Structure 1
Amino acid sequence: MTAPADRYTVISADCHAGADLLDYRPYLETRHHDAFDAWAATYVNPYADLLADTADRNWNSERRIEELERDGIVAEVVFPNTIPPFFPSASLMAPAPTREEFEQRWAGLRAHNRWLADFCAAAPGRRAGVFQILLNDVEEAVEEIRWAADAGLKGGLLLPGTPPGSGLPELYSSAYDPIWRTCAELGVPVNHHAGSASPPLGDEPAARAVFMVETTWFSHRALWHLVFGGAFRKHPDLKLVLTEQGSGWIPGVLDMLDYYHARLVRAATKANTAESKFGAGLADSMGKGPSTVWRENCFVGASFMRPHEVPLRDRIGLDKIMWGSDYPHDEGTYPYTREALRIAYAGLPRDEIAAMVGGNTARVYGFDLGLLDPIAARVGPTVAEIDEPLKEPPADATSPVFAPGASVRVW
């Protein structure tokens, strides 16, 4: 099957979904039902978008398909969004304070994962579900990875962060080797999503602003932790995807990591210098340099890619970039995905656009283009449409891609 002659096959590498709160109950073991009922009766959802009349976009399969198709999108990688059972606010929180709460939160994540498998099965070939784990118990995490792979959750694993104060080993720790080994063995992508690694900062206006400034940086840390920790040397088939963290930072960070790698490895050969201890053993433990690891093992879920990032695509790696709509979030591009694609990609070669908006995502997550191309021939944005520069953003658009200054393309 070849791609549609005049349309793009758009696969969003960043969407979100989850069950309505009470709909998780059937996916829990019965021994947790009483505790779940007590928890649900007092739970106050902290997220306005999960209380609005549009919240069912998270779990209404038919509505999602209809809205995504209307927006020109034929398939999606599905990250979590709603609150799993027994969590205080979100599934990306630091570990539970007690063993009982830890066991309950694991049960809640398993309930979400099992709901997600059914949700993906409701649209065969059009959803790659991203399942959740906790890092407190590596053996349990490995067991869940194997279950998820068998259940067909092709979106892979959502890697929790280890923010300061979490009490967990850092991501470079060899404690997590069984997780990397299992993911590499089973072809399961490891995804790290923005917002999953920041420490709690409070609710003051300054704290919220600082969170916005720092949240992507805390998420970026997974890259250098796994690189310097040798995860890719030990497991060459491991795939890491960094999603909704922007993409313009990548060339500069790779330059920085290459610099420190070369500097520390070189220093380790000079035992009489003060810096030699910082590079001791690094060359043997991590293997290839950071830029090489990026080229061979890493990808970016470049949600609503901004125009100023597009000229960096060759330095990032054209085969690394996977566009995402962030549906159904307010900051996502729905219902103006076509306009968002125009503002970023108008005037680029067609094959480059095709790779970034769908081809790369199909390859990384195993989507069947033979199934999706005929749908795109019906609903996908046309080549001519995306090639037309966007002069004015939609007046009611809420995505940052349309924010003042975001549309300036720096060549």
Structure 2
Amino acid sequence: MTDRYTVISADCHAGADLLDYRPYLEKRYHDEFDVWAATYVNPYEDLVADTADKNWNSERRLAELEADGIVAEVVFPNTVPPFFPSGSLMAPAPTAEDFERRWAGLRAHNRWIADFCAAAPGRRAGVFQILLNDVEEAVKEVRWAAEAGLKGGVLLPGTPPGSGLPELYSSAYDPLWAVCAELGVPVNHHAGSASPPLGDEPAARAVFMVETTWFSHRALWHLVFGGAFRRHPELKLVLTEQGSGWIPGVLEMLDYYHGRLVAAATKATTAESKFGAGLAARMGDAPSQVWRDNCFVGASFMRPHEVPLRDRIGVDKIMWGSDYPHDEGTYPYTREGLRHAYARVPRDEVAAMIGGNAARVYGFDLDLLDPIAAKVGPTVEEIAEPLEQPPADATSPVFAKGASVRVW
């Protein structure tokens, strides 16, 4: 057994530089793209800074991740695809015209990310994007992505209030769940993808920070109560960059409502009976059982106070991520972040959470990655040493004072 861990980040981000998406667009959109790109002003400082090429510079990216002890990554989108006003995570298509153009832009991103992953065979699992306005088109894109080798799975958009789309529990999306289950394509739901627009006032931005993970959590109970996992037992749902400490309490709450409503449905004389009508037949097992069978958490940089909950979450469910290249990520202090969270945790559990589980969910080949990790991965001894003081210039919230409360 090697004395180093094989670290796979289950939460990284990448995308093409704006003009580099053009070759991946269908030619009929080229003129329109040229007009759009000539006037587009990128709203994200990190995407116009000197370090923006971390998103698309393959060699730089590999070097920086290896220097940080990481040998492979699940790659979520980051840059702005054609015809989107901002990052695609937060921009559903409000009109038919918007949908047509943005769908073309997302398909261009998907084809770019396939090439980007192919530039580092076995080291990247690219997450491809869809829109929910046209489920039939989304299903076709899932099939294309599976054939193209994008092992990171599909990024499930949110259906925030006001989107005009059916809620995620709707049977309208059943063809999507069916094809993902059939092809073994993980369904990823990332934080920030389901919040409604709140405006630009300072209070709105603070409220967004408070509420954004909750809106993202909703995908769990929508798919559970909607019966997606009963109808498609092979379906896998991954909730990424939403924290992990909330999961045990939410599962207890969902089990409570499930049991209460199913029981009420047998008592036709009660006012509550209508709320449980048909629920048991539609969703099947209790939510906590569905979690154990079908769900995972891309916990990103797991905080020390979340680690003692790992048995209740499921050690086999947790996948660590660095969030590279975001400044709230752990780079270049991933080793320190791992020490901060996982010192004193048994070696086999650490190995599962920081690499083994991601390899299993996303299909990474450990026979390929382990020899690389033997050269660049953090040592077992190093991660076992508690971190006494976070790096002074670290920007990741994992080192924030409130994240340091440890409950053993």
Name the TM tier (shorter chain): over 0.9
Classify the secondary structure of the residue corresponding to 1:39. helix
Matched, 1:86 2:100: no
Runs in 1 of length 4+ with deviation above 4 angstroms? none
Distance 1:152 1:96 in 2: 27
Q: RMSD of the TM alignment (CA)?
A: 0.7
Write out per-residue CA displacement over residues 122-151 of structure 1, whole angstroms, 9 at most, x where no aligned residue.
Answer: 000000000000000000000000000000
Bigger mean CA offset, 252-261 vs 397-406: 397-406
Matched, 1:27 2:27: no
Classify the secondary structure of the residue corresponding to 1:131. strand
- Structure 1: which amino acid aligns with 2:134? D
Distance 1:96 1:125 in 2: 33
Q: 1:375 aligns with which of 372, 377, 381?
A: 372
Distance 1:214 1:328 in 2: 23
Q: CA deviation at 1:92?
A: 2.3
Q: 1:135 aligns with which of 129, 132, 137?
A: 132
- Conserved 8 A contact 1:94-1:163: no
Which position in structure 1 is the counterpart of 2:196?
A: 199
Classify the secondary structure of the residue corresponding to 2:42. coil
Which position in structure 2 is the counterpart of 1:254?
A: 251
Distance 1:147 1:331 in 2: 33
- Structure 2: which amino acid aligns with 1:358? G
Distance 1:96 1:6 in 2: 49
- Structure 2: which amino acid aligns with 1:131? F
Distance 1:298 1:125 in 2: 24
Q: CA deviation at 1:94?
A: 4.5
Q: 1:365 aligns with which of 350, 362, 365?
A: 362
- Structure 2: which amino acid aligns with 1:261? H
Which position in structure 1 is the counterpart of 2:340?
A: 343
Which position in structure 1 is the counterpart of 2:108?
A: 111
Distance 2:167 2:98 in 1: 22
- Conserved 8 A contact 2:71-2:377: yes
Structure 1: gaps (5+ residues): none
- Conserved 8 A contact 1:192-1:242: yes
Q: 1:288 aligns with which of 285, 288, 304?
A: 285
- Structure 2: which amino acid aligns with 1:176? Y
Classify the secondary structure of the residue corresponding to 1:306. coil
Which position in structure 2 is the counterpart of 1:125?
A: 122
Matched, 1:307 2:314: no
Which position in structure 2 is the counterpart of 1:6?
A: 3
Alignment of 1:4-403 (within 5 A): 5-403=2-400
- Structure 2: which amino acid aligns with 1:222? A
Write out per-residue CA displacement over residues 283-323 of structure 1, whole angstroms, 9 at most, x where no aligned residue.
Answer: 00111110000000000000000000000000000000000
Distance 2:98 2:78 in 1: 21
- Conserved 8 A contact 2:90-2:192: no
Q: CA deviation at 1:99?
A: 2.2
- Conserved 8 A contact 1:94-1:166: no
- Conserved 8 A contact 1:94-1:162: no
Write out per-residue CA displacement over residues 44-70 of structure 1, whole angstroms, 9 at most, x where no aligned residue.
Answer: 111111011000000000000000000
Write out per-residue CA displacement over residues 360-383 of structure 1, whole angstroms, 9 at most, x where no aligned residue.
Answer: 000000000000000000000001
Distance 1:94 1:114 in 2: 20
- Structure 1: which amino acid aligns with 2:198? L
Q: CA deviation at 1:410?
A: 1.2
Distance 1:203 1:318 in 2: 39
TM-score (norm: length of structure 1): 0.99
Distance 2:333 2:269 in 1: 60
TM-score (norm: length of structure 2): 0.99
What percentage of aligned pairs have identical amino acids? Answer: 87
Q: CA deviation at 1:404?
A: 1.3
Distance 1:210 1:95 in 2: 20
Matched residues, number: 408
